[in-house]
Structure 1
Amino acid sequence: MLSVLILGISTIVTGAAIEQRDSVPPGYVAAPYYPAPHGGWTPDWTESYRKASLLVSNMTLAEKTNLTTGTGLFMGRCVGNTGSALRVGIPQLCLQDGPLGLRNTDHNTAFPPGITVGATWDKDLMYRRGVAIGEEFRGKGINVHLGPCVGPLGRRPRGGRNWEGFGADPVLQAFGGAATIEGVQSVGVIATIKHFIANEQEQYRMWNIVKPGISSNVDDRTLHELYLWPFAEGIRSGVGSVMIAYNAVNGSACSQNSYLMNSILKDELGFQGFVMSDWLAQISGVPSTLAGLDMSMPGDRNDIPVVFGNSYWMYEFTRSVLNGSVPVDRLNDATTRILAAYFKMGQDQNYPRPNFDTNTQDAEGPLYPGALISPRGIVNEFVDVQANHAEVAREVARDAITLLKNLDSVLPLARNSTLKVFGTDAEKNPDGINSCADQGCNKGTLGMGWGSGSARYPYMDSPIDGFKARGASYQFFNTDSFPSNSNPSANDTAVVFVSADSGENYITVENNPGDRTSSNLNLWHNGDKLIKDIAAKYANVVVVIHTVGPILMEEWHDLPSVKAVVVAHLPGQEAGASLMQVLYGDVSPSGHLPYTLPKSEDDYPESVSLVGYQLGQPQDTFTEGLYVDYRHFHKANVTPRYAFGHGLSYTSFSFSDAAITPVTPLTATPPTRPAKGATPTYSTAVPEASEAYWPANFDRILRYLYSYLEKNDADAAAKIGNSTTKYPYPAGYSNVQKAGPPAGGAQGGNPALFDTAFDISVTVSNTGSRAGKAVAQLYVQFPSASPFDTPILQLRDFSKSAELVPGAKQTLTLRVTRKDLSVWDVVSQNWVIPVVDGDYGIWLGESSDKLNLRCGTASGTCAADQTSPV
């Protein structure tokens, strides 16, 4: 979400710039798809749609449009506030960031972000974090949680918001996103999966006064097999809302891309909730409405100064229905979708109202800060929603910690170790833990990146706090330059803390405008030099890294004294105790990398470099196709510094006794999809103009967005609607509902895609001397006879064991679905299994480069000590 702090000339765009549509490379198409499919046709949403349709049938035109649009920037307690329909019992809906917890409020938990969650490889922990986040949002009276984020897949290692997602693999992202959604919505909060779609770079993402937003040019197969995969799983989990991205896809802005919203989301993936815009991402009124947008946030236009309080929707939506440019059924469906999500989550039953104010930390303040003159009142009740959530946050931070290297068993530290601790990342920001708005700086312990996906810390348990609590014998040098007075001793262990940061591009930090343009993949604050200087003086060096994503470590990794390398990712508020538990061996590290660590940026394909300035619309063509992260490294036969999924432990594990059991017989294509069920029906007659008139004696707030029209305006619009003049609908427009594509049929797609094709079991044994948790990773290798070019290995499932004491065993169960063995056929527009009777290799192991147990789907047997295909 774009921060409201940066409004000004950078967000003002001209109509000409908005309408400009540059040519994209041949073959990258955003085909028109109309009309927007009606919601309510899947059985699991029937009751919520029934309730919603009863209300919509009795609502006025202005009441309907009021629910579809935000009331303006700073026009309420929440970062987003819809209008209401109080006559029928619907209050304003409160929408609030963000993916890792409550943004811009108090008495909340600053959870570790998505990239840290992904590094746990723990589905249960992913879910429990989602429940805890949902409880905090509900406790603050928030209807819509603006998370989780699976939009950036991590295609670009320097991308600014990769850390908000769960890793550089669609399946890891899918499990993380779906578990979060299920957790958040289990307590009645509407989750929002975002940003839809191919939002892989911060720079040039937005339409502005100079040029249109960047166009992500993605071929159809890559779109389905990589970028759509986590969205499909989130929709299958019943997510209530989808937020579109700022960028364009194949030349068409996501906010008015009918192929993405109508065809993919609402038809193929059977999405039953509502599609909303990101803040100031909507660039048109009627086109975005016809293309399937259901809610505009925060309602303001971005082509004129927002101080005037103008909107593409709200009153303009009302006008558009009256004058016939927007069919009545489009408004009815948008309103029904919003209310269906509201009822689906049970928010009509004693749901709390907002008790905080995102605009101030004071108890009293203006009710509408964006207004020139606003009434005042109590805006913040300081409700504490933290409960015991710090325990969940600490567990995530701890179980994500990834041990990359541990020579001479320098870790775990002995209780009486003499430590020299270096680096400003080890201690809290000296200016205050929340001194930088939206965490827009890299000072002190790096617990999260910056931007709208951040949160205020209730406290920061720093690594130094952790050492103090341990009673450790340490000396701390709070500097990022090697101090001359550290007095190295042969008995010392040097622990050096370094970091790498990124964020959203409305804030530039140390010359990095969101994406890591200035720092590249290097450590910040001369971290590489600091490590080398320390390694030259100390015999035992432990490097602890807080990072948003991949970094380079070639300058120092192989130095003889660098004995251990620990990636603590982004720990949120619980950076200290979680790290101490691992460093001192209370628990064995059990995190695994959610991305590949390269030896050089040249190891990546050139196409994943950040797109710089271009005349006209910036073009970002995904020519690498399916070969992102480890898929590329495998294909190019490039050995990384550390492979995707890598992670060491203080103990050792073996995988044995694997078994594969066929469950569902396979066919080349899935069984025929279920037909769509009935959807609500309404009158298609254009409402009377009187339904849009301003109520008598209405007390208006300047700049607040309302859905009403002056009588003369409403009457004039109705006159046009009743004339013979017809609106020039876009090419390919139709108002006839479609039966839906073969790949659809339920939430997430054809339900047969998710049938289990094979069950796989494997026994993991702790063969070491310490307790620990193991992660079994399952990758699929397609048969060589497949006519489709397919990555050598692709992650398809994973499972984390309980903590196993030495000698203990546990049988883990995994599964491979029909979709896992399929490819997207761009000709038939369906998922197909390329070689039905072929021998698909099911590889099991502890990382993508340590797979030596193979099961074959053709033979139905498993064998150990196999040579991995990579």
Structure 2
Amino acid sequence: MSSSNVFAMLSLLLLSISSCAGAAAIDKRLPVPAGYVAAPYYPAPHGGWTSDWSESYRKASLLVQNMTLAEKTNITAGTGIYMGRCVGNTGSALRVGIPQLCLQDGPLGVRNTDHNTAFPPGITTGATWDKDLMHARGVALGEEFRGKGINVHLGPSVGPLGRKPRGGRNWEGFGADPVLQGFGGALTVEGVQSVGVIATIKHFIANEQEMYRMYNLVQPGISSNLDDRTLHELYLWPFAEGIRSGVGAVMIAYNAVNGSACSQNSYLMNGILKDELGFQGFVMSDWLAQISGVSSALAGLDMTMPGDIHTVPLVLGESYWMDEYSRAILNGSTPVDRLNDAVTRILAAYFQMGQDQNYPPPNFDTNTQDAEGPLYPGALFSPTGVVNEFVDVQGNHAEVAREIARDAITLLKNINGTLPLSGNATLKVFGTDAEKNPDGINSCSDQGCNKGTLGMGWGSGSARYPYMNSPIDGLNTRGANYQFFNTDSFPSNSNPSPSDVAIVFVTADSGENYITVENNPGDRTSSNLNLWHNGDQLIKDVAAQYSNVIVIVHTVGPVLLEEWHDLPSVKAVLFAHLPGQEAGDSLMQVLFGDVSPSGHLPYTIPTSEDDYPESVGLVYFEVGQPQDTFTEGLYIDYRHFNKAGIKPRYAFGHGLSYTSFSFSNATITPVTPLTATPPTRPAKGETPSYPTTIPPASEAYWPDNFNRIWRYLYSWLDKSDADAAAAAANSSATYPYPEGYSNEQKPGPPAGGAQGGNPALFDVAYDVSVTITNTGSRAGKAVAQLYVQFPSGISFDTPVIQLRDFEKTAELAANQSQTVQMRVTRKDLSVWDVVSQNWIIPSVDGEYGIWIGESSDTLALKCSTASGSCTGNQTSPV
């Protein structure tokens, strides 16, 4: 047995033991607060009713008509953890030409492989505020996943939204605003799928902390309790944008929403995703998130990953689906059309991306870096063969990665033009973050440590570095005059000189909760919002000895700066976020003035963690189901700070440049006349016709002389089991269907009508243009941010301002101008009405303020929808 196989089995056993911790299940649940309801919504809507997917559904439905029961159930589930080359491997239907589908992490690059690019993660991409780069990164990701033979890219992540500043996986998304997340997610989806890879938008929904997110024998997963308006206006917004872009897959989260697990929450999957948002692809579980068989199928789950049951030792090779799904069809507990629709959705996504035409098979193995090894590492005895072909998929993608890392760098403070540095500056460099991990850049599994240059957080959203271009590498390439002190404590031998410039590198890390790093179990519980590794003290010690100090922060999210920010010696502060593999040269281009910094914060930086509403704190252990109630509603991040009148250290959207810009000649032009409610939604188109007759039991019999792999999950039943299930369908016993269950297809809610919702929601209400002029002496890029202020006197409580669009200029030379175009849609001016269950414009003729500026707290240019005019030098609304 190879070492990689031993490691796989040990990991498997440890995961099984942790699942079974505690001798008995604790069924006690803390009550969900009154008013937070997980309403039933049945049946699962059939897919295929939008014209843009009709041809793919036609192909898929023809195929499904010719598939056996076992072939169908084989497509809907994984074959087991560690039971194939990829992190997720579906069953196949080779008789009709459908191979196993390979599903693989992650949002910033191909996880656990080689010759790949480690791109900057979502939070860094969001900090660029550059739509072109968001799309280019998606294309590059798609090319690498396709090059490795991966069918389904498990990204992008737009949930968590970043409600909790200490949440472990916020860095995988694009920022703490639904519109910034929405553009980042949708443009990534479009880029990935442009090369034929199925994208997966995740994690649906309200998965805002890592601790206690998963169901196990000891405790149900945490329940995120939120009202319907908050769901629609914040957390659902970026998912709607991704679905509107045609995303092929949605991944369900681990947690519950309003007391019902996402993996069997019919309101979320059937009602929201498949009916209101018109989602045409397939819904998959997160890994081991499925907690039931029939219930999850009825609620709209289409695929379970990796196939195993989460509450029994995984070594047993048990599944809620596979053979149990075959049994559930034969005994009549799951309607035949539910299975047919699930399989059709999966195959329609396959055809929609053209994967039936010359799509490469997997050429890597996520379980080992060896060329040869076990084909099924989760089995004690597995056939072996070539598992890694070491295909280089990097292309020129390092250029995209470097440009994102560079254009995300956010200059927060720059006193007396300390930056950019002169080429002959004498530099003293402090902090271990400046140089690569001395143990090796990939020495920590899934980047589960904070050692050396911090380029990404940890967990399944990470990737191996092909190399790490560290800041020290960048200084060496520059031929800079520097001395490096590779320590996080101030050294006694740095010999300060008045002409020295001190550069201090500091970090803050987080990740997924199956790894604990320095007592932080994913979420930042031990570190809170403080810098890691003595960072605050190091900066203060350096500032006490040097008169010109530059602080460079690699961080997953907001950190507190108050201990040292206002020290006279601290002249400049840069947030380099998480730069991926291109940490060095990208930073040098900004430090030495090759380019002006053009990044802007994708979140707010507070002066104290107490500035946040108490409800966005982490929820700790409770006996029963932990309850996380979103009592702050719409008021997260800058929305909260503005409402509470709290001045943060740095506002959402803040970012300085080496030059300056003016905004002028703004215009607002009405495009689509508005009404209080949107036009009536289009009716659903025709969907495939599915038989409802239970197939013969023989379709689930084991094939003759089949060579079974131990612990591999199969969809067949022994003949006696299949026959007994078929006989049960004719018995008087009936399955206890959930409350509100129906198998009668619905016409769909008023807010639906197409992918993403009623297409009228995305009609452009106003075109807005503004001329941006570089009024400084250096070249640079500007970001125009557009915020909407709702009319006063309406009956809906709305945040003071809300981001609705943004646009980044090309690099402008001194005195050069560019006119940028932005738009405001019907949805941008609407609120979600919980009574009519529709988007409404609360004041059609009221004055909506359209504010434009470089950050959320420097808005001086206002356009009025009522007067149709724009005026500069206005008093900012916040």
Q: What TM-score, normalized to structure 1? A: 0.99
Q: Do residues 82 (structure 1) and 90 (structure 2) align?
A: yes
Task: Return the alpha-carbon distance in structure 2 between the equivalents of residues 703 and 440 of structure 1.
Answer: 29
Residue pair 1:154, 1:168 contacting (<8 A) in 2 also: yes
Q: How far apart are 1:721 and its partner, in Å?
A: 1.1
Q: How does 1:273-422 map to 2 (within 5 A)?
A: 273-422=281-430
In the TM superposition, residue 683 of structure 1 has moved relative to its aligned partner by 1.3
Give the whole-Å Cα distance in 2 for the aligned partners of 1:514 and 1:682.
Answer: 44
What's the secondary structure of 2:95's corresponding residue?
A: helix
After TM superposition, the structure 1 = structure 2 runs for residues 617-636 of structure 1, keeping only pairs within 5 Å, are 617-636=625-644
1: CA distance between counterparts of 2:25 and 2:291?
10
From 109, 125, 130, the equivalent of 2:138 is 130
**2:346 partner amino acid:** I
Partner deviation per Cα, 1:186-209 (whole Å, 9 max, x = no partner): 000000000000000000001122
- Secondary structure (helix, strand or coil) at the match of 1:499 reads strand
State the 1:16 CA deviation. 8.0
Paired residues of 1:10 and 1:209 also in contact (CA < 8 A): no
Question: Separation in 1 of the partners of 2:609 and 2:144?
Answer: 40
Question: What is the match of residue 440 of structure 2?
Answer: 432
- The structure 2 residue matched to 1:825, chosen from 833, 836, 839, is 833
Asked if the contact 1:13–1:207 (Cα under 8 Å) also holds between the matched residues in 2, the reply is no
Q: Deviations over 1:380-410 (max 9, x none)?
A: 0000000000000000000000000000101
1:761 aligns with 2:769: yes
Partner Cα distance (2:386, 2:702) in 1: 28
Residue 648 (structure 1) aligned with residue 656 (structure 2) = yes
**Partner of 1:239: helix, strand, or coil?**
coil
Question: Residues of 2 paired with 1:52 and 1:262: CA distance?
Answer: 21
Once the two structures are TM-superposed, the CA of residue 22 in structure 1 deviates from its matched residue by 4.1
Residues 738 and 229 (structure 1), Cα distance of their counterparts in 2 relative to 1, 3 Å cut: same
Query: What amino acid maps onto 1:478 in structure 2?
Result: N
Closer/same/farther in 2, CA of residues 6 and 531 from structure 1, 3 Å limit: farther
Q: Match for 2:198 among 174, 190, 201?
A: 190
Does structure 1 retain, via aligned residues, the 8 Å contact 2:145–2:197?
yes
1:162 and 2:181 correspond: no
What one-letter code is carried by the residue in structure 2 that aligns with 1:162?
A: N
**Is 1:241 aligned to residue 269 of structure 2?**
no
1:457 pairs, out of 443, 455, 465, with 465
Out of 781, 787, 791, the residue aligned to residue 783 of structure 1 is 791
Cα distance in 1, alignment partners of residues 644 and 455 from structure 2: 34
Unaligned 5+ runs, structure 2: 1-10
- 1:547 equivalent to 2:542? Answer no
Give the C-alpha shift of residue 14 in structure 1. Answer: 9.1
Q: CA deviation at 1:613?
A: 1.3
Q: CA deviation at 1:10?
A: 2.0
Q: Is the 8 A contact 1:762 1:812 kept in 2?
A: yes
Matched, 1:103 2:103: no
The equivalent of 1:573 in structure 2 is 581
Maintained 8 Å contact 2:642/2:800: yes
Give CA-to-partner distance per residue, 1:755-775, whole Å, 9 cap, x none.
000000000000000000000
Q: Secondary structure of the residue that 1:288 maps to in structure 2?
A: helix
8 Å Cα contact 1:694/1:710 also seen in 2: yes
Q: 2:820 aligns with which of 812, 815, 840?
A: 812
**Distance in 1 of aligned mates of 2:670 and 2:23:** 58
What CA distance in whole angstroms lies between the structure 1 residues aligned with 2:14 and 2:695?
Answer: 39
The answer (yes or no) to whether the contact 1:12–1:302 under 8 Å persists in 2 is no
1:844-864 alpha-carbon deviations (Å, 9 max, x no partner): 000000000000001000000
- Between the aligned partners of 1:12 and 1:379, the Cα distance in structure 2 is 32
Q: What is the distance in 1 between the residues matched to 2:723 and 2:387?
A: 39
Deviation at residue 92 of structure 1 after TM alignment: 0.2
Q: CA deviation at 1:18?
A: 8.6
Counting matched residue pairs gives 868
Q: Which amino acid aligns with 1:637?
A: G
Contact 1:40 1:49 in 2 (8 A): yes
User: Any conservation in 2 of the 1:14–1:208 contact (CA below 8 Å)?
Assistant: no
CA distance, structure 1, for counterparts of residue 722 and residue 229 of structure 2: 46
**Aligned to 2:854, what secondary structure does the other structure show?**
strand
Secondary structure in 2 matching 1:847: coil
Aligned to 1:536: 544
Q: 1:743 aligns with which of 735, 738, 751?
A: 751
CA–CA separation in structure 2 for the residues paired with 1:15 and 1:276: 30
Counterpart pick for 2:688 among 680, 686, 696: 680
Partners of 1:270 and 1:703 lie apart in 2 by 37
Tell me which amino acid in the other structure corresponds to 1:343.
Answer: F
Aligned CA distance change for structure 1 residues 445 and 21 (closer, same or farther; 3 Å): same
Q: Does 1:848 align with 2:841?
A: no
Supply the distance in 2 between the matched residues of 1:547 and 1:856 (Cα, whole angstroms): 38
Matches within 5 A, 1:447-526: 447-526=455-534
Counting only pairs closer than 5 Å after superposition, residues 793-812 of structure 1 correspond to structure 2 as: 793-812=801-820
Alignment of 1:205 with 2:217, yes or no, is no
| 1:52 to 2:60 alignment | yes
How many Å apart are 1:72 and its aligned residue? 0.1
- 2:8 counterpart residue number: none
Distance 2:26 2:444 in 1: 33
SS at the partner of 2:766? strand
Tell me if structure 2 keeps the 8 A contact 1:216–1:622: yes
1:613 matched to 2:621? yes
Task: Please say if residues 134 and 184 of structure 1, whose CA atoms lie closer than 8 Å, have aligned partners that are also in contact.
Answer: yes
Deviating more after overlay: 329-338 vs 4-13: 4-13
Shift of 1:12: 3.4
The residue aligned with 2:268 is: 260
Distance, in Å, in 2 between the alignment partners of 1:13 and 1:192 is 32
CA distance in structure 2 between the partners assigned to 1:227 and 1:394 by the alignment: 30
Moved over 3 A (4+): 3-6, 12-22
How far apart are the structure 2 equivalents of 1:4 and 1:558? 50
**Which one-letter code corresponds to 2:249 in the other structure?**
S
The Cα of 1:723 is off from its aligned counterpart by 2.3
1:301-321 C-alpha deviation (Å, 9 max, x unpaired): 011101000000000000000
CA–CA separation in structure 2 for the residues paired with 1:647 and 1:574? 21
Shift of 1:11: 2.4
Report the Cα distance in structure 2 between the residues aligned to 1:342 and 1:18, rounded to whole angstroms. 41
Query: Residue deviations 1:245-277, cap 9 Å, x none?
Result: 000000000000000000000000000000000
Would the aligned equivalents of 2:661 and 2:782 in 1 still touch at CA under 8 Å? yes
2:441, 2:465 within 8 Å by CA — same for their partners in 1? yes
Distance 1:727 1:500 in 2: 51
SS of equivalent residue, structure 1 residue 597: coil
Across the aligned residues of Structure 1 and Structure 2, the Cα RMSD in angstroms comes to 1.1
Please list the CA deviations of residues 708-736 of structure 1 after superposition, one character each: whole Å capped at 9, or x if unmatched. Answer: 00000000000001223221111100000
Give the whole-Å Cα distance in 1 for the aligned partners of 2:132 and 2:27.
Answer: 46
Find the residue that maps to 2:123 and give its secondary structure.
Answer: helix
| SS, match of residue 146 in structure 2 | helix
Q: Counterparts of 2:26 and 2:197 in 1: how far apart (Å)?
A: 34
The runs of 5 or more residues in structure 1 that have no matched partner are none
Aligned partners of 2:265 and 2:24: how far apart in 1? Answer: 18
Letter in 2 for 1:650: Y
Q: Distance in 2 between matches of 1:658 and 1:808?
A: 17
Partner of 1:73: 81
Q: Secondary structure at the match of 1:630?
A: helix
Is the CA contact (8 Å cut-off) linking 2:13 and 2:315 kept in structure 1?
no
Name the TM-score, length of structure 2 as normaliser: 0.98
The correspondence for 2:728, drawn from 706, 720, 743, is 720
Q: Distance in 2 between matches of 1:618 and 1:112?
A: 33
Shift of 1:531: 0.1
Is the 1:189–1:345 Cα contact (8 Å) retained in structure 2? Answer: yes
Matches of 1:297 and 1:699, distance apart in 2: 23
